[in-house]
Structure 1
Amino acid sequence: MKKYTRVSLKLITFGLWRISAGLAERVNLDSINCATESIITRDVAVIGGGSSGTYAAIRLRDIGQSVVVVERNDRLGGHTHTYTDPVTKGKIDIGVEIWQDWDIVRNFFSRFKISLTKNEFAPSAVQYVDYRTGQLVSQYSPGNATDALTAYATQLAKYPYLEFGFDLPNPVPTDLLLPFGDFVEKYALDDTVPTIFKYAQGLGNILHQPTLYVMKNFGLVDLKSIQEGFLTTAKHDNSEIYERALAELGDNALLNTSIVATKRSITGYSSITVTTPCGRREIRAKKILLAIPPKLDNLDGFDLDATEKSLFQQFGNSAYYTGVLRYTGINDNTTVQNIGINTTYHLPVLPGIYSISPSVIPGLLNVKYGSPTALADVQVQSDIIASVQRLPNRTISVESPEFAIFASHTPFELTVSSSAIESGFYKRLYAMQGKRSTYYTGAAFHTQDSSLLWRFTEQLLPLIVEK
């Protein structure tokens, strides 16, 4: 599920776009993803076909396990969303845009014969505007964050385990529990804030978040990759890997499918009743891998026990939205970044736009929007259009700004309170692995980063397949 857009260190002041997660481009493969069996018996049922779920399903097949994937949307890929312009046929990734340059990433793409390349970000002119009023903040400068990021890296080095999940020590280090604004003040890291905010899009108000979550979203691996470069697909079509995974899974990927009921077994087979476009089906599986956000309103039909309910109900979440705009009146080579005129560190007030930036297709611009809480899509779209219309120095066209495509990545970051973290929330959460024949992966168990989530999932596979 992560990464978001990141840039080289010399471009860091132009903005680090959080590779928001997105969705895979829809492929019309209905003829092969409609299981004909009334009872589907598999070794593992994977619930959720996003980045983690798709990776797990393919890897489980590779090691000899039979799988079925249950996905409520009409495509695989989760937050990986690619827009295809009907005029130029060019593609714009508005969800996951880059990956860490790791063997696990290269191997997964190589398996599907998809070429990768180092990602390059072309610099653009930057305007700083307070989107609330449309006022140009001409005197603003994000400054040079290099020295401050070095100091931040020194703090990150104290917690190497954060790169592998939430396996926190007991007691949890006090600094990880501090609101990030207090942590910044304690270690004089003020100059890092604009950069981290631009990178950690989707976290809501980062100054209020426990430092734990900010560090996990912007950690040592990210600082290293900023210097050494990230990977993206050579075709600039990040959804292709999920299209190919869907083609391989065939009728083992149940799209547009919802769970009606579950009856999990400690031994033997668990039962999952689902509704598919072809009617109701029963899945019988030895193991279940849950790869969806574990919020109570996302788990209808699950036979949750008291422990699961007590843990999952503690999750709150932020919201993140991405899209492609046309008719903005903004120059194709200009990024318009949201800045708060009279706010702490000049951070923009959320809900609001993070930035509007060039795409690879003239006349189409990327937009990123965040909120501390979930909003209706129509409310977000309306706010974005109104914000664009307030911008200064905009070339007014006959047409009003409109969306070529829009995607909600909500719920985005799942978080709990500092007091819950301190009292051992993640110890209890991780202790659920394997209970009632159920295993868990996804961003709630690590962070919004596809590369890190694939590594986390890979380490989980031996537990799932052990006899």
Structure 2
Amino acid sequence: MAAKSVTRLLGGLVVAASLGSASLSQSIASRILVKNVAIVGGGASGAHAALRLKEDYGKSIVVIEAADHLGGHVSSYHDPTTGRDFDYGLNSFNDYGPARDIFTRLSVSVTPAAHGDLASKSVDFASGQLVNHTGPAIPDMFAALGKMYGIVKQYESLMIPSYAQFPAPSAIPADLLLSFGEFVIKYSLQAAVPQIFAITGNGLGDLLATPTLYVLQAFGPATLESFLGIAGAPFVPSSGRNAEVYEAIATRLGSNVLYSSKVVQSLRTGFGVVLWVQGGDGKYTLVLADQLVMAIEPTPENIEPFNPTASEKAVFDKFAYSTVYAGIVSHPSLPTNASLVNTVPAAAPSNYLALPKPNFTVAFTPIDPAAGLWSVGVVGNEALTSDAAKALVTSNINAMVASGVLPGVSGAKVTFKAWAVHGAMHARVSAAELKADFIRKQVALQGKTSTWWTGAAWSSTATSILWAYNDLLLPKIVAASPA
């Protein structure tokens, strides 16, 4: 950061204090960090951006991360009894764009992701009753996925890896504005729906009511190419721990990451930003940076400390989200040889458009029956709390025991071995907002008040696509920074 910029920012602090817009003074800080780029959020997007800015562009950086580690939705559990590690957040990485190059750079070996081949039982988790549901035949599923790919591939450049080419409202393809249910019916893609819902669509909550544009951001051309064998198969670290890649990035970044820290106040200007950062120890660090990269979901709560501009609020206040939780549980009644899949009664016998709606538990899947471990996921609306999600999991198991679907074990309780709060995910707006030029208004926010935005709300939920998005965004950030 140039001395002139530092002087102007410090002068801005004096002005902010005199206007009463900064409740915390400069003197509260125990230290001051001066950087080219400050990055808020050390998930998939933030960690990757920090690595590349530091190593490929020679920029001084600092990452402000609320957790005690990098990686965001990557969650790994170490079983102290068996010594084994289990992933229960992100499952695998798509072979798209720069993904393999990043693993090679970090010396993290990879292997193809394993395919689950367990039998499954369809159960209405609310009542605990079995549902006589038959999934589509494998050839029919692949035929539907192939047909879908042929349709949506033409729209890929409008969405992936960025919205930079997204058209004016009058030119938005009609398919992208349809609810996904309407899209499925229009093209007779019903046999593809269970697979889409099981992999990533369930995080969208009410999948069939969601505009097709946003479903394709969660399960789009890149994912379809993996399923259909057009692209390389998804992969994972050979160690079996998806967190390994972020641990490697953390090692490279070293002390440039402020863990267990959060921005509590900020000053954003056209010539740099000032961030008041509070650490887990209660102490404050003042960060002065030429550019700010926001790698967190732009929820009202997340962006409040950054005094969002009117233009930012006009965009971000329109977003709706799902709230997602993932965990590993233990209960003696759960089956060791099959997954339990939440299935609404209306799905019987083969209605693929009858799906659970928020709030719901997705499935119970055995990951190490000998150790008594099952993975579980919960999808809810924005108001679903962590405690309520856990209570839902417990209620579902109790309902299956009461109905006789699961054997009763006297006094048995659900043990939560690990629990990850993924928080607000799958930012989306209505078709009406899309028709009102929402996407281009969102893209136009980039670079204003020295602030840049990355993450799933700007690209896709897939890590490899997020990294490809960063590869387009970072040169712009660098170009906007003083030499």
- Relative to the length of structure 2, the TM-score reads 0.85
Secondary structure class of the residue paired with 1:403:
strand
CA distance, structure 1, for counterparts of residue 305 and residue 362 of structure 2 = 36
Alpha carbons 1:130, 1:136 under 8 Å: kept: yes
Q: Which amino acid aligns with 2:189?
A: L
Identify which of 432, 454, 458 aligns with 1:441: 454
Secondary structure class of the residue paired with 1:54:
helix
Report the counterpart of residue 316 of structure 2 in structure 1: 312
Report the counterpart of residue 415 of structure 1 in structure 2: 428
Establish whether residue 115 from structure 1 lines up as the match of residue 109 from structure 2.
Answer: yes
Q: Describe how 1:199-218 pairs up with structure 2 within 5 A.
A: 199=199, 200-218=201-219
CA distance, structure 1, for counterparts of residue 211 and residue 32 of structure 2 = 45
Report the counterpart of residue 193 of structure 2 in structure 1: 193
Report the counterpart of residue 286 of structure 2 in structure 1: 282
Larger deviation: 216-225 or 339-348? 339-348
Establish whether residue 406 from structure 1 lines up as the match of residue 397 from structure 2.
Answer: no
Secondary structure class of the residue paired with 1:157:
helix
Q: What per-residue deviation string (whole Å, max 9, x for no partner) do you get for residues 94-146 of structure 1?
A: 11120112462222122222111011124111111111111112353334312
Q: What per-residue deviation string (whole Å, max 9, x for no partner) do you get for residues 381-415 of structure 1?
A: 11111111222442444532221111121101111
Deviation of residue 326 (structure 1)? 0.7
CA distance, structure 2, for counterparts of residue 62 and residue 360 of structure 1 = 39
CA distance, structure 1, for counterparts of residue 195 and residue 244 of structure 2 = 30
Deviation of residue 424 (structure 1)? 1.1
CA distance, structure 2, for counterparts of residue 54 and residue 69 of structure 1 = 8
CA distance, structure 2, for counterparts of residue 207 and residue 334 of structure 1 = 27
Report the counterpart of residue 226 of structure 1 in structure 2: 227
Deviation of residue 335 (structure 1)? 0.8
Q: Describe how 1:22-41 pairs up with structure 2 within 5 A.
A: 38-41=31-34
Report the counterpart of residue 394 of structure 1 in structure 2: 406
Report the counterpart of residue 270 of structure 1 in structure 2: 273
Change (3 A) 1:295 1:101: same
Report the counterpart of residue 330 of structure 1 in structure 2: 334
Report the counterpart of residue 460 of structure 1 in structure 2: 473
CA distance, structure 2, for counterparts of residue 359 and residue 374 of structure 1 = 29
Alpha carbons 1:327, 1:397 under 8 Å: kept: no
Change (3 A) 1:213 1:102: closer
Q: What per-residue deviation string (whole Å, max 9, x for no partner) do you get for residues 266-319 of structure 1?
A: 12x321111113511110101111100011211122132111111111111012
Q: Describe how 1:40-439 pairs up with structure 2 within 5 A.
A: 40-63=33-56, 64-102=58-96, 104-143=98-137, 144-161=140-157, 162-167=159-164, 168-170=166-168, 171=170, 172-199=172-199, 200-228=201-229, 229-267=233-271, 269-278=272-281, 279-342=283-346, 345-360=353-368, 362=370, 363-391=372-400, 392-397=404-409, 399-439=412-452
Q: Which amino acid aligns with 1:394?
A: L
Alpha carbons 2:77, 2:87 under 8 Å: kept: yes
CA distance, structure 2, for counterparts of residue 93 and residue 204 of structure 1 = 22
Q: Which amino acid aligns with 1:215?
A: L
Deviation of residue 184 (structure 1)? 1.6
Alpha carbons 2:122, 2:130 under 8 Å: kept: yes
Q: Higher helix proportion, which one?
A: 2
* Cα RMSD (Å): 1.8
Q: Which amino acid aligns with 2:71?
A: G
Alpha carbons 1:259, 1:300 under 8 Å: kept: no
Structure 2 stretches lacking a partner, 5+ long: 1-28
CA distance, structure 1, for counterparts of residue 332 and residue 461 of structure 2 = 30
Q: What per-residue deviation string (whole Å, max 9, x for no partner) do you get for residues 398-444 of structure 1?
A: 53222111112110111112111111111111111111111110000
Deviation of residue 71 (structure 1)? 1.0
Alpha carbons 1:57, 1:67 under 8 Å: kept: yes
Deviation of residue 78 (structure 1)? 0.7
Report the counterpart of residue 15 of structure 2 in structure 1: none
Deviation of residue 379 (structure 1)? 0.9
Alpha carbons 2:129, 2:405 under 8 Å: kept: no
Pair member with larger Rg: 2
Structure 1 stretches lacking a partner, 5+ long: 1-35
Report the counterpart of residue 10 of structure 1 in structure 2: none
Change (3 A) 1:429 1:235: same
CA distance, structure 2, for counterparts of residue 374 and residue 336 of structure 1 = 26
Deviation of residue 165 (structure 1)? 2.3
Alpha carbons 1:109, 1:115 under 8 Å: kept: yes
Q: What per-residue deviation string (whole Å, max 9, x for no partner) do you get for residues 356-394 of structure 1?
A: 112146310111221243301111111111111222442
Q: Which amino acid aligns with 2:360?
A: G
CA distance, structure 2, for counterparts of residue 336 and residue 277 of structure 1 = 40
Q: Which amino acid aligns with 1:273?
A: W
Q: Which amino acid aligns with 1:169?
A: P
Alpha carbons 2:135, 2:194 under 8 Å: kept: no
- Relative to the length of structure 1, the TM-score reads 0.88
CA distance, structure 1, for counterparts of residue 133 and residue 277 of structure 2 = 57
Q: Which amino acid aligns with 1:152?
A: M
Change (3 A) 1:407 1:253: same
Deviation of residue 83 (structure 1)? 0.7
Q: Which amino acid aligns with 1:277?
A: G
Count of residue correspondences: 431
Q: Which amino acid aligns with 1:149?
A: L
CA distance, structure 1, for counterparts of residue 218 and residue 133 of structure 2 = 30
CA distance, structure 2, for counterparts of residue 361 and residue 115 of structure 1 = 28
CA distance, structure 2, for counterparts of residue 449 and residue 374 of structure 1 = 24
Q: Which amino acid aligns with 1:376?
A: T
